[in-house]
Structure 1
Amino acid sequence: MTCTIRIACIISLLHTRVAGVDLTQYVNVFQGTTSGGNRFPGVVAAPFAMVKLGPDVQSGTTDAYSGYLANGSVWGFSMMHESGTGGAPKYGVVSQMPYVGSLANPLIDISQPRTAPDIGTVGYYKSSLANGVSVELAASEHAGLYQYAFPSSDVGTIVVDASHVLPSFRGLGWDQHYKGGNFSMAEDGSYEGSGTYDNGWNLSPDWTIYFCGRFSSTPTSSKSFSGNGATLTSYDTSTPVSGTQRVGGVFTFSPSNVTSRVGISYISTAKACQNLEGEIPAGTDFQSLVSQAKDRWNTEVFSKIQIETANAAGQQLLYSSMLGMFMIPSNLTGENPGWSSPEPYYSDAFTLWDTHRCHTPLFQIIEPVAYEEFIRSLIDIWRHDGYMPDARSSNFNGRTQGGSNADNVLADAYVKGVRGAVNWDDGFAAMQTDAEKTPANNNDPQAPDSSTKEGRGALPDWLTYGYITPTYTRAVSRAVEYASNDFGLYQVASGLGKTAEAATYLERSRNWRNHWNPAAASNNHSGFVVPRLANGSFVPQDPLSCGGCYWRDAYYEDVPWVYSMNMPHDVAELKTRIGGDDKFVDRIDKLFDLNIFSAGNEPGFTSPYLYNFVRGKQYKSVERSRAIGNLYNSGTGGLPGNSDAGAMESNIVWQMIGLWPLTGQTTFLILSPWFSHMTIDLGTGRTLDMSSTGGNKDTAFYIQSLKVNGQQWTQSYVTWGDVFANGGTMEYVLGPTPVDWATGDMPPSPASGDE
């Protein structure tokens, strides 16, 4: 939007900052739903809600990771999904599908194309099907509301299918399976049941979801069914059905408009009914649920960052990205089937490998209460399951792609002052389990050498050699991450006064150096992290190649060039090994000049901002930040890769803020803000107020000068204590050309002895 009339601009700017404004108007729920973003566009009634109600779409052999595909036929509307995940789909359970007319066999394919693109806003979703049925959806945290409009001249039929689950066609052995269920109904058409399923991307064993359904009017006909494949073995009036066959119910209605309410639970059908009646009792107004969802998202998320801008696209990108950040993990407090505990409980973490670099640091700022609960949940999972998860879904740990990155998350929380009800002695014990106890091998076919379920599967080599041999898959990338994980233990041990443990883990955090081969060379650079054998010799390695870059390779999802820059706790040592400041700058440049850097791969997230560790080069971090920002928009293809549960979205929000977090440290590298004014609500009356003058987002974004809390600032970083712990101000003057303003101390490199 270009403001040609000054008064219109002023009104727009003021409107953005008016307390209580509905910021959901700037949200595109379909951001990142195409081009591999895998975002879920359906109804999530509140941050971290258990119910994520939306369509399941099939299109040939394309995996619908979040259930949604822009093209294809809808084959159900189900209650549970994940957002932005990869690997393989998860959930898609407790499904309903409308049909027009009497249905002779509910086990056949009754999927329907859509006659128009789906419509969605925060708290609301609508699909218009080719059979003339429109389906509108709203929800609460543990229950969903379906509103059907059938063609007036036909019988309306609704099929409830307990066997419905999202499939995977990749052939990797990660597809979900329906294992069995039960279904019963009453004369008024109310019904209860459950389904049991397994697998998905985290290779979980059997897990069960219970459901409880009610309709707004009594069906003219209610029938339970069971069968195998598309073959019916039972299709009766009210007989309960159970077993390993497909089970469900078929309900027909004479009214054209039918409302269906459904509650779910991991605990029991009684708990599912309790959730339903407690959250969406009979007579609940559909629009009231939509309004409640908007209010929750406005209050708990969107209002935490207020901006002044005349840039409508920037507004849409900011708030659409904030929605994408907080759909998972799922807050399942009160819904934990594994153990009874007074602690909070969160599942659907996908994955801390993806999110620990920039998502969880922003999670703490935007949702501090939920963040403390999440930290407590990680520790409580360790108490009862033996390990903290790097990922968790359907109440089961898995998959671990690299290190034990819950250690990084706990360290980040600790150094930034998260205390509350967190038991940090137990937290450190949980971290030590990762650092000292080898998990049992779960015999993952994709990486059979060691556990991909939890912990550090390659720990025997790490403890024996101080590096990881090719005996283990992902040896080099795991070693780089184990070093970072051990730095996290050092940070918490230091804070708890455990001096011996702190010394041990600080030394271990330097073990990435044992993979450094100074003779490995590429494009006028020498020194890269490479595989190393038990006899100490290095394996020849092209620094531009990672083989398949997947589970069985030495490097996971990125190349040696990128992993050789992944030591944010030891940057001063890294610079020395690379050859000093000039070579260090040139190496970052070459990540881009040689087209090595991928904005969609998390291992490289921090690399573009390492210029801040070289005096006079902060402006290059800003240039890279702006270039990365240009890869994003609020449209359906607006993410540069898989959302990865909000990792991509948190990345762009940090670009907009103009800071970059170094997880496990209190350091934030200074970039350049996008907006003339931004206020971040830090809770308990604290704010970070950021303003800029003299520049703009696109052509005049270089810092000319900066004041922090009213004082002239000459460092290329700020700390948690400077601007977040008690709030603060950052006042930028921007311009079109670089200025050497950051003449002060460089950011710390704690593992290099430079704190």
Structure 2
Amino acid sequence: MTSVNFRLGTLIWLSSLVVAQVDYSQYVNPFIGSEGPFPGLAFGGGDIFVGAALPFGVVKVGIDTYEQNVSFSTLNGGYTPQGRVTAISMMHESGTGGAPKYGIVPQMPLAGSLATVNVLDNTTYWQQRVGNDTANVGYYATKLESGVSVQLSASRHSGIMEYAFPAGDKHILVDLSHYLPSETGGSDVQFYVGGEMDLQPGGQIYTGYTTIGGGWSESAPMTVYFCGEFDHAPDQANAFSGRLTDPIARYHTWSDGPVPQATFGNLTETAGPLNNRVGALFTWSNASVSTIKSRVGISFISADKACAFKNSEIRSWNLNDTVQAAVSEWNQDVFSKIRVPTDSTQNRTNLILLYSSLYFMHLMPSDRTGENPLWPNIESYWDDFYTLWDIFRCTVSLYHLIQPTYYQGMIRALIDIWRWEGFMPDGRSGNYNGLVQGGSNADNVLADAYVKGLPGINWTAAYQAMLKDAEVVPYNTFSYTDFTASVKEGRGALYDWIPLGYVSSDRSTRAISRSVEYALNDFSLSQVARGVAPNDTQKYLARSAQWQNIWNANVTHKNFTGFLAPRLSNGTFNLTDYNPALCGGCEWQSITYEGTPFEYSFTIPHDMQTLIQFMGGSAEFERRLDYIFQPNTSEQNLGANGAGITTLMNIGNEPDFATPYEYNYVGKQYKSVMRARSLANQYFHNANYGVPGNSDAGALNSWLIWQMLGLYPVVTQPVYLIQSPWFPDINMTINGNATLRIMANGLDNANSYYVQSVTVNGRPWTQNWLSHGDVMVNGGTIVFQMGSQQTMWESGNVPPSPGHYTL
């Protein structure tokens, strides 16, 4: 099936909303990014979660699907447009690439005779969907080919499911060994370790746990406790146990013989020393019961706590009550933080893009405060940073402004992970650090929060955590992903960075991109050191300039001179067949990650002054920027994360996020507006294929939000580049109780998006940038005068280069 609906049906619950309040949830399309460039397939799309969740919720209730064509398969969020449903499960990620994670604590409704069903082989019961899927904020519905209609909603640690069955026997299968499988196998597949199923007498309530490891983070096994309840007692309930098998792996290897049948009988089944698959089957034969509802709570601490969550969070069996509560929380905690006009004169598509983007950037990470099973629950605890490499550039800056309480909890959690485990994560899921795609980017997150004055943080401890990243080589995890160094945490190539002053291409992978990222990491340390350890400031400022050690002034390409280039550990550059517009696969074993050296040559935000000088001055810098936006300049096969992109500039990957805005550094703000607006219009749509690749935990969505606000943050600096607002009047609640108002006069037609002049708090503004203290602390008003003319309105200083340092 390929058809989807949002805001079509299930609208009855909206009647209880207070009329005077704007229900911004009506502008959320949960399907944006659910499909890629190939109609009906998720491959190359946003990998987003489609289902029910609260902001930063632990539970994300949705369907798990399986696409049989593994060459064009992606299962990361569970949902795929045409995949077969294998379960409805409680935990999912959203927007992530790589191998899937979670899809655990499941239920699967089955109808009629089970004569051909083997509960240990989901290929015998998986279901196509019929008709249209429907999703709204806090709500998801679909219909299976068996005739079962499914509705879902969620609270923070619990979910509610409603199944309407056709005539005949009704069954719900709970297979504790279920998880989202990797499409093609590998070292990062998930694996089942064991579990326990306990049925209370009568079978109406069941409890237990499941233990699952692996996934993209290559994590150690994680135990999740659950507590499920049905609104009607089943006529029959039996736990089962069966031999440890992987039905999906079997399906692809075509091994001989059927998957063995399970053994039924007891009220309690435990995996035992052989890691048996365990679960339960519930059956209702009473013809008077046609709809079965279920509430399920989960906990990382105990089944008793899971039951407490279920009972306290979802008190009513009316699914609409949970939906209404979810809509209310999203409106109050998220959507109302950015308020724009919603009258009939407004562009509805832009409203949907704005509020859908806010929705997706609040699905992850997960706030598990009070649910940390690894050490005492004293501090904030957050998981599913998947990954900081994706969100440090512009997502966390938005959290800082509109979610200061949540953001403070995230920062404290990162520090606490270092306190107990030794390193802050770059990626983390399943209560486990991993993987590190480039640098130690928690350093950038902390520095960004520090220079903008986030309160409630122990900055002495924060700096100690950053020092660990900067000075201690993490032990080598010998991951299949990269055998040369640790990819679990920290900076795996410090053995080069500290003595050589760069990451060498003969001893390390991703040598160019890691050199650039390590430089920004060290700039982050220099900024926090200014207030916490002043004697360290110059040391890390100098190290932040070490990207210059891999700049080769003699490399030429397409009539441009000077590029980042691979350098060997003996000090010589390896320029044999070197092309800065190519990177191999732009993957773990390449010289750069998710971008070419040509693109990474623009990623020095802390010292744009030196970068512009190295490229030949302002005019040559501008000419090179112009080039990367020209069609057919890409020489690299971009794969799924670049379908349809022919420019060197690839907005589908995070290293290029800030590049369109760099014209501000040469006094050509109108060109920044032109380039960024063109990218937004070309690649972001209110459609299933609505983002140019993985949304990466909302990173692409937050890029679009900043674009629509008319600002862009410079990471690790209290600086915002002025752009062009999309709405005539934007009111943002920042820092909890202050208001930032952004007004755009003259948005009369589709072409009047160029800035003619700016005032800040009533004063004429001649700089094309703002400092955090100007309007981001106590609020204020920015007024843009807009028009269709490309105007060089700015006459003040260009944005600063606080990391300016020449080696």
Shared fold (TM-score, shorter chain, > 0.5):
yes
Q: Which residue of 2 aligns with 1:289?
A: 322
Once the two structures are TM-superposed, the CA of residue 102 in structure 1 deviates from its matched residue by 4.2
User: Which of 263, 277, 281 is the aligned partner of 2:311?
Assistant: 277
Q: Which residue of 1 aligns with 2:120?
A: 107
Output the CA distance in 1 between the equivalents of 2:583 and 2:444.
25
- Partner of 1:195: helix, strand, or coil? strand
Aligned partner letter, 1:160: V
Output the CA distance in 1 between the equivalents of 2:569 and 2:66.
48
Once the two structures are TM-superposed, the CA of residue 634 in structure 1 deviates from its matched residue by 2.4
Once the two structures are TM-superposed, the CA of residue 696 in structure 1 deviates from its matched residue by 4.5
Aligned partner letter, 1:502: T
- Partner of 1:629: helix, strand, or coil? helix
Specify every segment of 5 or more residues in structure 2 that has no aligned partner in the other structure, as ranges. 1-17, 37-44, 246-258, 634-646
CA contact (8 A) 1:673 1:692 kept: yes
Instruction: Describe the shift of the 1:734–1:58 C-alpha distance in structure 2 as closer, same or farther (beyond 3 A).
Output: same
Q: Which residue of 2 aligns with 1:50?
A: 58
The 5 A counterparts of 1:38-437 are 38-44=47-53, 46-60=54-68, 61=70, 62-104=73-115, 105-108=118-121, 109-151=124-166, 153-189=167-203, 190-228=205-243, 229=245, 230-236=259-265, 238-243=267-272, 244-253=275-284, 254=286, 255-281=289-315, 283-308=316-341, 310-420=346-456, 422-437=457-472
Aligned partner letter, 1:128: K
Output the CA distance in 2 between the equivalents of 1:451 and 1:82.
24
Q: Which residue of 1 aligns with 2:676?
A: 625
User: Which of 499, 504, 520 is the aligned partner of 1:464?
Assistant: 499
User: Which of 767, 785, 789 is the aligned partner of 1:737?
Assistant: 789
CA contact (8 A) 1:226 1:246 kept: yes
Aligned partner letter, 2:311: E
Output the CA distance in 1 between the equivalents of 2:154 and 2:660.
41
Instruction: Describe the shift of the 1:469–1:149 C-alpha distance in structure 2 as closer, same or farther (beyond 3 A).
Output: same
CA contact (8 A) 1:176 1:200 kept: yes
CA contact (8 A) 1:185 1:240 kept: no
Output the CA distance in 2 between the equivalents of 1:684 and 1:650.
19
- Deviations for 1:54-112, whole angstroms, at most 9, x for unmatched residues? 00111102231100000021110000000001111100001100111243542232111
Q: Which residue of 1 aligns with 2:9?
A: none
Give aligned-pair identity as a percent. Answer: 46
Output the CA distance in 2 between the equivalents of 1:172 and 1:239.
33
Q: Which runs of 4+ in 1 moved over 6 A?
A: none
Output the CA distance in 2 between the equivalents of 1:507 and 1:170.
44
Output the CA distance in 1 between the equivalents of 2:19 and 2:458.
40
Once the two structures are TM-superposed, the CA of residue 359 in structure 1 deviates from its matched residue by 0.7
Query: Quick check: 292-301 or 231-240, which moved more?
Result: 231-240
Aligned partner letter, 1:181: G
Instruction: Describe the shift of the 1:735–1:342 C-alpha distance in structure 2 as closer, same or farther (beyond 3 A).
Output: same
Instruction: Describe the shift of the 1:697–1:111 C-alpha distance in structure 2 as closer, same or farther (beyond 3 A).
Output: farther
CA contact (8 A) 1:568 1:662 kept: yes
Aligned partner letter, 1:647: A
CA contact (8 A) 2:400 2:735 kept: no
- Partner of 1:721: helix, strand, or coil? helix
Once the two structures are TM-superposed, the CA of residue 30 in structure 1 deviates from its matched residue by 0.9
Once the two structures are TM-superposed, the CA of residue 326 in structure 1 deviates from its matched residue by 0.5
Instruction: Describe the shift of the 1:668–1:277 C-alpha distance in structure 2 as closer, same or farther (beyond 3 A).
Output: same
User: Which of 647, 658, 661 is the aligned partner of 1:609?
Assistant: 661
Output the CA distance in 2 between the equivalents of 1:216 and 1:59.
33
CA contact (8 A) 2:237 2:280 kept: yes
- Deviations for 1:528-578, whole angstroms, at most 9, x for unmatched residues? 111111221111021111111110111111111111111010000011111
CA contact (8 A) 2:242 2:260 kept: yes
- Partner of 1:322: helix, strand, or coil? helix
Once the two structures are TM-superposed, the CA of residue 523 in structure 1 deviates from its matched residue by 1.1
Aligned partner letter, 1:313: T
The 5 A counterparts of 1:321-720 are 321-420=357-456, 422-470=457-505, 471-496=507-532, 498-540=533-575, 541-593=578-630, 594=633, 595-615=647-667, 617-630=668-681, 631-696=683-748, 698-720=750-772
Once the two structures are TM-superposed, the CA of residue 232 in structure 1 deviates from its matched residue by 2.3
Once the two structures are TM-superposed, the CA of residue 154 in structure 1 deviates from its matched residue by 0.5
Q: Which residue of 1 aligns with 2:5?
A: none
CA contact (8 A) 2:48 2:94 kept: yes
Output the CA distance in 1 between the equivalents of 2:585 and 2:138.
40
Query: Quick check: 483-492 or 302-311, which moved more?
Result: 302-311
Aligned partner letter, 1:519: N
User: Which of 46, 51, 63 is the aligned partner of 1:37?
Assistant: 46
Output the CA distance in 2 between the equivalents of 1:119 and 1:226.
35
Q: Which residue of 2 aligns with 1:27?
A: 28
- Partner of 2:462: helix, strand, or coil? helix
Output the CA distance in 2 between the equivalents of 1:394 and 1:404.
19
CA contact (8 A) 2:610 2:805 kept: no
Aligned partner letter, 1:286: L
Output the CA distance in 1 between the equivalents of 2:712 and 2:455.
23
- Deviations for 1:639-688, whole angstroms, at most 9, x for unmatched residues? 11110000000000000001111110011111111111111111443111
- Deviations for 1:155-174, whole angstroms, at most 9, x for unmatched residues? 11100110100001234321
- Partner of 1:751: helix, strand, or coil? coil
Output the CA distance in 1 between the equivalents of 2:555 and 2:186.
34
Aligned partner letter, 1:626: R
Once the two structures are TM-superposed, the CA of residue 364 in structure 1 deviates from its matched residue by 1.2
Q: Which residue of 2 aligns with 1:11?
A: none
Specify every segment of 5 or more residues in structure 1 that has no aligned partner in the other structure, as ranges. 1-16
Once the two structures are TM-superposed, the CA of residue 179 in structure 1 deviates from its matched residue by 1.4
- Partner of 2:803: helix, strand, or coil? helix
CA contact (8 A) 2:519 2:545 kept: yes
Once the two structures are TM-superposed, the CA of residue 495 in structure 1 deviates from its matched residue by 2.4
CA contact (8 A) 2:196 2:268 kept: no
Instruction: Describe the shift of the 1:18–1:717 C-alpha distance in structure 2 as closer, same or farther (beyond 3 A).
Output: farther
- Deviations for 1:401-431, whole angstroms, at most 9, x for unmatched residues? 00000000000000011022x1110000000
CA contact (8 A) 1:660 1:669 kept: yes
Output the CA distance in 2 between the equivalents of 1:21 and 1:583.
49
- Partner of 1:158: helix, strand, or coil? strand
Once the two structures are TM-superposed, the CA of residue 369 in structure 1 deviates from its matched residue by 0.4
Q: Which residue of 2 aligns with 1:9?
A: none
Once the two structures are TM-superposed, the CA of residue 499 in structure 1 deviates from its matched residue by 2.0
Instruction: Describe the shift of the 1:204–1:696 C-alpha distance in structure 2 as closer, same or farther (beyond 3 A).
Output: farther
Aligned partner letter, 1:240: E
Q: Which residue of 1 aligns with 2:11?
A: none
- Partner of 2:605: helix, strand, or coil? coil
Output the CA distance in 2 between the equivalents of 1:648 and 1:40.
15
CA contact (8 A) 2:735 2:777 kept: no
CA contact (8 A) 2:269 2:278 kept: no
Output the CA distance in 2 between the equivalents of 1:697 and 1:66.
38
Aligned partner letter, 2:770: V
Aligned partner letter, 2:334: V
TM-score, scaled relative to structure 2: 0.89
Output the CA distance in 1 between the equivalents of 2:299 and 2:742.
43
- Partner of 1:53: helix, strand, or coil? strand
Output the CA distance in 2 between the equivalents of 1:499 and 1:19.
53
Once the two structures are TM-superposed, the CA of residue 446 in structure 1 deviates from its matched residue by 1.8
Output the CA distance in 1 between the equivalents of 2:326 and 2:185.
38
